[in-house]
Structure 1
Amino acid sequence: MAVATEKSIFFHALEIESPAERAAYIEGACDGDEQLLTAVCALLRENDREENPVDRPVGAAWMSTDLVSDDVGVATTRFFPGAMVGPYKLMERIGEGGFGLVFVAQQQAPVRRRVALKIIKPGMESREVLARFEAERQAIALMDHPNIARVFEAGVTETAQPYFVMELVRGVPLNEFCDHHQLNMSERLKLFVTICHAVQHAHQKGIIHRDLKPSNILVTLQDGQPLAKVIDFGVAKAIGQSLTVKTIYTRFASMVGTPAYMSPEQAAMSTDDVDTRSDIYSLGVLLYEVLTGSTPFAPDRLQSAGFDELRRIIRDEDPPRPSTRLSTLNNELASTVAVNRRLDPATLSSAMKRDLDWIVMKAMDKDRNRRYSTAGAMAEDVSRFLNDQPVEARPPSTWYRFSKFARRNKVGLSTASIVACALLLGTAVSVWQAHTAINERDEKEIALEEARAAEQVANAARLELERFNDRLNSTTVLLASGRANADAQRWSEAYQAYTEATGVLPKYFLVWLERGGLNAKLGRWDAAAADFAKAVEIGCPIEQAELSGVPQLLFFAGESAAYDKLSNELRRVEKDDPMAVTMRGQLVGDVTESAAAELADRVEQMLAAMPNPDDSEPNHESDRRRRKYAEMFYGVNLYVAGWAHLRAGNHQRALQRLQESNQASWFGRGIAHPLLAIAHHRTGNAEDAVGSFEQSQALLDRLLDESVSQSKGSPVIPWIDWIEFLLHHREASIVVKGHTPANDPRMQQMERFADERISG
């Protein structure tokens, strides 16, 4: 093996960007030869020095003559334990990088505390080193996060040597801490999440670390819990800002970072194209090592590889998944890794679930567009795994893997594709022609069978319809005679006849429901209420009463006993299942806010699922009928949603839905005016409340006038909606005007018209 010379060491050192790695290389290459070490350092200083007073460091001359050698052969200066740097007394040297020394220091004033003090090594004060030192100091000063070491102060010694003081972190590298304390998988992942949050904070401040590795993440115990601290922003890069007024020159064809943790874009040595996703890659490598105990690419292999081969490995080779790496460990190493994670060696590889494989490999994807967009997104995915929730990371699709294979094998794949396409095309044409002939034959046979089946169904339906009409006509005559005479006995006879005609046995309360419904349609409220009360008394089911509008009419007519009985039953059903009460049943009675809110949510879901009838124009008569029904149901749902939001206290949403119901085309258009008046009143809009009430009064007058002028017993709208409108108008009058509305003589006139029709 050739002996390293001063020249070869010097030229190789120039290729190393990181000051820390450069210093380590020089010390190893010199192998304890102090004379050779001094000569190489002098050459490097001369290479970095520029012949002008601005770039030449002040005080460099005296520092170069003040160098001595310590007991381990490392160059040091007058900065030793016990020396003072400003108000700080140096206690112990705890670290050394390519261009800096780190000491434990005791601050003397204005407070006494232990800190870490970092100062440039004498003899390393080139313009580039000074600029990187100032950039590191500024980068840390920008950040304020519990998992990032804080800067307390910065200054310059009497000899013009810059230093800065930061938080003293008494910790060990991340991987050593996890193994020494034998953290299990869950504990390691929780600690890793805090590191992701720290990196996310740095990215939000516009700082890319570019050298995330275990030695730059120190972990200590605080109150019995592990606390990680990200340190060493010596090669950090700023986004959209400048960390120093000095120029940092990155040599051509040089890499920044540690190869084992370096992203492919860093290995490509295009520093202008490195963004925050480079740190995401390094976080993926960190997680890989925390879980498996080794980096994706073995450090020995990277160190032995040549420069171009190292870059090729990082940029092109896909590392094995973490679970694969664990399954291929030898017995001794697998046992050590399992013990450090408190696992059984037999289940070591199975402990790495597929989700963790996906998370790690997504962060380490060669294509940075497929990585996590932020460190926070990666932390969220790890948290989802810890909470047994589906993770966002997924393995690359088959098409993605195929596209990468195709790019690597373009020529062979192109030739094979042409041949395959020709064969497939010929086969496809032959199959298509045969398939077309078979389909034509089958379609004719199927069409003939469908025509025969349709004819049979139509004949059967016509016969059934004729029989049904015959039974319905005979039953209608009997029912009509019972209604006209308002005689319960005749009603019983009518239902007996209905039973004989249809074979269905009706229940007796249906007699009173039918007669009550007829009286309600005619506007005979008292008679209808009496019939409904009788139906409730003899056991009318709550569901049937709701659908028939019984609660509304009993409440309006003052049938308190029957209404109370029905209300108690409604509340019992609502307690067991709030959504079991239908929409119309909830429009009367003591509806709780929670039940109203639940009803509002359900109706909103129905509205979201329904297409807006105004979005399409009907082209045929069937389309117009469908649109008419769609408009009706859409308007009803808007009205019910507005009422439910109002009862739930969501007044703004209630106003929106009620106004939309008044604009929709349905039979109850306009009956939302009194509810709008109440909603405006509760939101403090007195003027709008009065306006809506006046519109409600105008609608009431119009409907009453039409009914009286045409000698009708009730308006043209369904009587259940009419009752609800009257109830809500009375409520709005109390809320907005402060009094109940006066009895309108037109109401009595409508009842007289109804009595005349019955008696006639």
Structure 2
Amino acid sequence: MTVASEKTIFFHAFEIDSLDERTEYVRKACKNNTQLLAAVSALLRENDREVNPIDRPVAAEMLPTMMSGELTDPRFSPGAMVGPYQLMERIGEGGFGWVFVAQQQSPVQRRAALKIIKPGMESREVIARFEAERQAIALMDHPNIARVFDAGVTETAQPYFVMELVRGVPLTDFCNSNRLSISERLQLFVTICHAVQHAHQKGIIHRDLKPSNILVTLQDGRPLAKVIDFGVAKAIGQSLTVKTIYTRFTSMVGTPAYMSPEQAAMSTDDVDTRSDIYSLGVLLYELLTGSTPFAPDRLQTAGFDELRRIIREEEPPRPSTRLSTLNSEESRTSDVERLGPPTTPSTAMKRDLDWIVMKALHKDRNRRYSTAGALAEDILRFLQDQPVEARPPSSWYRFTTFARRNKVAISTFSLVAIALILGTATSLWQAREAIRERDEKELALAEAREAEVAANAARSELENFNDRLNSTTVLLAAGRANADAQRWPDAYEAYSEATQVLPKSFLVWLERGGLNAKLGRWESSANDFVKAVEIGFPIEQAELNGVPQILLYAGRSDAYETLLQELRQSDTEVPFAVSARGQLVGSLSPNRAAELADQMEQMLSKTFDSDASSGPLNKRQRYAKIYYGVNLYVAGLAHLKAGDYQQALHRLKETNHANWFGRGIAKPLIAIAHHRMGNADDAVQSFEESQVFLDRMLDESIERSKGSPSMPWIDWIEFLIHHREASIVVKGHTPAADPRFQQLQVFADAAIDG
């Protein structure tokens, strides 16, 4: 036997999951050749080894986890707890991460898939990419994409995130075992295209679409596809599934049989969403023919450079050609036999489906479908007997598709036309026909040119938007990471670049405004928040905290009033104090203030109810317990605005004993309450305490060379607003100009200048 025979038997056996069936196949294939049997068995044993040098990059040997030789960790054994999740079993493993089936214990009980970085792999680069990918995946919300439930960090600072546990079978296995017809396969494939389109709109490229990453199950008797493992290769540099053979080779990311030419070129910076379009084309090819465009056996036996050449240069046969050229042995084993009647695959594919598949598989990505949605729309046109966009729109082709849908009308028209032609003189008919054809050709040519210009413009605009969206997602993730590490210049630069790349996104302005506020750059922060308000953003955004206060403090009254109107009409799920504080900091009617005071008192009462209750807390109760100190403060402010000065004093004084970051900011409000009650001496004393608190905060900030005190910036801004108001009410004049504020501004600006 030759080495080629050993490889052929090995690769066939490699695809058999059952150990008994694999052993029986090898024994029969090797017949009585004991030497060949021993060689193939040795290859299979090496492949089954848990530490396999072929599946691991050389560089990985230098990493701490690999050096220690520890393949397991007792902290992550079955039964261990990761946050509220109990690990059941490990179902996947890669060079840098583990995947577990986990049982969520609270607040609800359910099973999910938990992904976590292996102990010892927590390098800065790996964690940064893991965090950025977790943020990107969390943006997706589509019924055909596995959802993200939760995310967190273990007690040993290892990030993890929890996803929907998908119970299903790979796409091709489901279609074959259920004998789905071509129409049923195409309808299922359209839902997958929509899922990929949704991911692309969120700035996420899958880069490893294949049947094992698309699981299908039955829901209410109908097939439901779920796309899994989005962006794993992008997140941590390699896939968590052992079946992605080439994911771990340098920067060549993906599975060879489904890899686009640009991925094979090993230039990851140049890979965009159209790479996933190619992979979708391979999936469609396999669904229709039972085989990938390039035979897996050939790709597995080819050398590395030959593999890349095949993917980048060779043109695969059309699906109809592949079906018509199957030899007798392939015909007996091909998955095509499982297609349900009555449609014959080769007949249905000879025209439209051939064009659709080959357009998606074009080597030049500029000639492929520009989006996954465009691919889905063309398949729907085929299913509805409409002209597809994947072939030249000739007049005859449009006529034939129109005729199939309007047979009666076409037949009637043909009979009438024949009668007219026979009754017309031959010479006159020829002259008129020549003129008509000339005019139609000129008109069709002009329309075709206009359509081409419009299509090119639309494609260019869409490609530009996708590029800008991808860049903005990366820049925002970089800005957050740098801000968490207090690398202020780098964070500001990343956010500023994001505002230039995607200036019409409210999120870029909201995030940069938050950074400016954190540093004490109040005017710059207000300018950014005004831009976000002008663009418009969902009122339930948690980042709304502090925005109304900054706008009011900086004198942006128009933007503040716009935001205030939306706050009054919202039923937000963020902590109620966020909405109430935004309304109470400005002018408010006593009736509205009384309503807010009642609602805050109800929230405070729920805190005590939750302490006495042994059952799980609802969302409002959890918020009330977490924000108890600030809720006392907001309740006191609401009572003060409503005219209930006695209750206001009670709640505001309580804040000085509560455990919260803004302790002390209620002092000017206490002075105002005393003044309104006629307690002049107490009002003056409370205002002096407020002045002492202000002096201490300013001196500490100057000593630390910071633009604002160490308390949350929203608390500091509200204190400054209310201290100014207390000075006017109690002292009868505005506070004198304090040069220390200018010094803080210098520190704030210096923070982003490096």
TM-score class normalised by the smaller sequence:
0.3 to 0.5
Q: Which protein is bigger by CA-based radius of gyration?
A: 1
